[in-house]
Amino acid sequence: MKRIYILSLAAIFGLSACQKETVSPQNGQLSRSLIPGSVSTTTNDAGLSSSASSFLRLQLAKDSIFKDDILINFKQDASAAYVVNEDSRYFPGNGAVSLASLSSDNVALAINALPLAQQGISIGLQVNAQQDGVYKLNMTAISLPATYKVWLLDKYKKDSLDMSLNQPYIFNLVKADTNSYGSGRFSLVVRQNIASAAQLLDFTAVKATNSVRVTWKTAYESNSTFFTVERSTDKGETFSGIAGLTSTDVGTYSFLDIMLKGKPAQYRLKMQDVSGTVTYSKVIATN
C-alpha cells in the first residue's frame, strides 16, 4: 500500500463551499448526434439538462463476511447539512463493524447527498467496530469526472491514500484507544485537479443563409461539462442562453442558430462543470 506522509493537511487541501448557477432556456437546433441517449442527465430550474450525477461507495470490512457500506451522492442542488428525504440517517445495529459519513451539521448518514465543489470538499467519516483488529476501508464504486481525485485522510496516523487508485486502506482499531476509531480519525477529500479541468481550444460563429453556425472545440471535458451558447443582439450589453448540452467527450460541438434570420449578433460560450464552477469564452461577432 502506497502512503504519503502529510505535514499539513490544510496546506494541501484548500476547501470551500460549492456555488450554483442556473442557465437560460434554449431555442434553435443542436447537432443531436452529439448527445447520445445513454448519457444520464438532470434538469435544472430553467429546464435545461445539467451534468451527469456523480457518486461513490465506501466500505468498512473486517473480512469477507463482516462489512458495512455507505453511499455519497454529489448533486449541485443538495445541502451539505442533513435534509429529510434527501439523506438517509445511519442507525447502528449489532454488526461487527459500522461506517457512516457525517453531514456538515454532524449527523451520521448511510446515504449522504451534498454539492461537489471544484476547490474541494471534506467529508467526515464515523468508523467503529466491536473488537480490536485489522480493518480495511475500500472504495467499492466511484462515478466522478476523470479530473477529480478522492483522498482518504487519517488524522490519527497522519497518512493519506488516493482512493481513486482502488487500493484498500488497512488500519488497526484498538478499543482502548478512542483516537483509533469514532468520528475524529478519518475523512474523505474530493478535489479537482485544476490543470485537468475542461479547456476551450476554439470558438467560432460562421454566418450562413438566415442562420449562424456556432462551433467550439474543447479538451478534458469528459462527460461532466455543461455548455450554454449565449447570444446578444444589443452589441454585447446583454446575453441570453439559446442552447445547452452536456459534454460527451467528443471534443467538437456545433449549434445552428436559425432564430437569428440574418440579424447582427454576438455570441459567447458558457462552460459549467459538475461542481458548478462557471467560465466564459471570448465574445465573437457576426455581421
Q: Which residues, at least 6 apart from 221, have a Cβ–Cβ distance to it below 8 Å?
A: 198, 199, 247, 249, 251, 271
pLDDT of 222: 65
Q: Which pLDDT value is given to residue 116?
A: 82
pLDDT in tens, 13-50: 344 333 323 233 333 433 322 222 222 233 332 233 33
pTM: 0.58
Q: What's the CA dihedral at 162, 139, 79, 229 to 10 degrees?
A: 70
| Domains of the chain by start residue, with CATH | 53-195 (no CATH), 197-286 (2.60.40.10)
Q: What pLDDT, in 10s, does the model give residues 93-123?
A: 888 999 999 999 999 999 999 988 767 789 9
pLDDT value for 21: 31
Other CB atoms within a 10 A radius of the CB of residue 26 amount to 20
> What mean pLDDT is predicted for residues 70-90?
93
Task: Kindly give, in sequence order, each residue whose CB lies less than 8 Å from that of residue 158, ignoring residues fewer than 6 positions away.
Answer: 5, 6
Mean pLDDT value across the chain: 79
pLDDT higher for 214 or 194? 214
Q: Residue 7 above 60 pLDDT?
A: no
Cα-Cα-Cα-Cα dihedral of 268, 45, 25, 115, to 10°? 20
Q: How many angstroms separate the CA atoms of 277 and 225, rounded?
A: 10
> 71-85, 183-197, 218-232, 268-282: which has the highest mean pLDDT?
71-85
Nearest to 281 by CA among 221, 206, 225, 201: 201
Query: Poorest-confidence range of 45-54, 131-140, 145-154, 262-271?
Result: 45-54
